[in-house]
Amino acid sequence: MPAGMSLFAVNAIIVLGADDGSRILAKYYTAPHHAPRSHSTASESPYPDVKSQKSFEKGLFEKTAKQTGDIILYDNRIVLYKNESDVMMYVVGSVDENEVLLYNVILALRDSLHLLFKQSVDKRTIIENYDLVSLAIDEIVDDGIILETDPTIIVQRVSKAPSQDTNLGRIDLSEQGVNNLAQLGKDRLTAWLRQGL
């Protein structure tokens, strides 16, 4: 494996307000093998605390606020970004990372949010649907590892459950009802596994 290549491709996903650079959402990732083992200081993490993270975000916003591109090198990191309405979305990776892979992550985030909200992606919508945005990011990246970049799959996993209330009176919670439910699940799993083979 070439030096610098790792499954842990993403260092951070950040969403800032495009007008003032204020933090809306930020997730920083440290690979488990870089996590401190014996003491609580995160010496391996380049942004171990909120103060250093906000300093990084402020500088990043100042550098990208007036630019029209999609990629920059900032603080020895590759940063891909997209401007949507009144928000800036960033994906941060190490300087050795594959830019195309990181670009797919930023596109997956942007397109997933467009599909989820069926309207413009703006600061107010993101704040009102913070849970969905956070879940979408978690479906795309987990601990810095890119899991999914297909927006339709991400939206299917994140979408809200139907708003209709379930009639709890119709659920059979007796021992026989639970056994019937378990058997039904077992039968469906068996059928699903047979279809896959």
Give 21-34 pLDDT, tens digit per residue.
Answer: 999 999 999 877 55
Domain match, 89 and 139 both? yes
DSSP-assigned letters across all residues of 45-85: SSS-SHHHHHHHHHHHHHHHTT---SEEEETTEEEEEEEET
**pLDDT on residue 193:** 80
Domain span holding position 190: 168-197
What is the total count of domains within the chain? 2
Instruction: Please compute the mean of the pLDDT values over residues 75-94 and round it to a whole number.
Output: 93
**pLDDT on residue 74:** 92
Domain match, 101 and 134 both? yes
Q: Which of 61-70, 77-86, 92-101, 186-195 has the lowest mean pLDDT?
A: 186-195
**pLDDT on residue 88:** 94
**pLDDT on residue 42:** 36
Domain match, 37 and 79 both? yes
Strands, E, within the chain: which ranges? 10-17, 23-28, 71-74, 77-84, 87-94, 141-142, 145-146
**pLDDT on residue 195:** 74
Percentage with pLDDT > 70 across the chain: 82
- Tell me, yes or no, whether 76 lies in a domain: yes
- Tell me, yes or no, whether 4 lies in a domain: no
Give 117-172 pLDDT, tens digit per residue.
Answer: 887 789 999 999 999 999 999 999 998 999 999 999 999 999 865 555 555 566 66
Domain match, 101 and 182 both? no
Question: Cα–chain-centroid distance for residue 122?
Answer: 17
**pLDDT on residue 106:** 96
- Tell me, yes or no, whether 131 lies in a domain: yes
- Tell me, yes or no, whether 115 lies in a domain: yes
Rounded CA gap, 135 and 123, in Å?
Answer: 17
Domain match, 153 and 174 both? no
> Cβ(14)–Cβ(26) under 8 Å?
yes
Domain match, 136 and 65 both? yes
**pLDDT on residue 179:** 80
∠ CA 72-17-140, rounded to 5°: 65
The one-character DSSP state at 19 is T
Torsion angle (degrees, nearest 10) of CA 11, 155, 101, 69:
-80
By CB neighbour count within 10 A (0-12 exposed, 13-18 middle, 19+ buried), where does 153 fall? Answer: middle
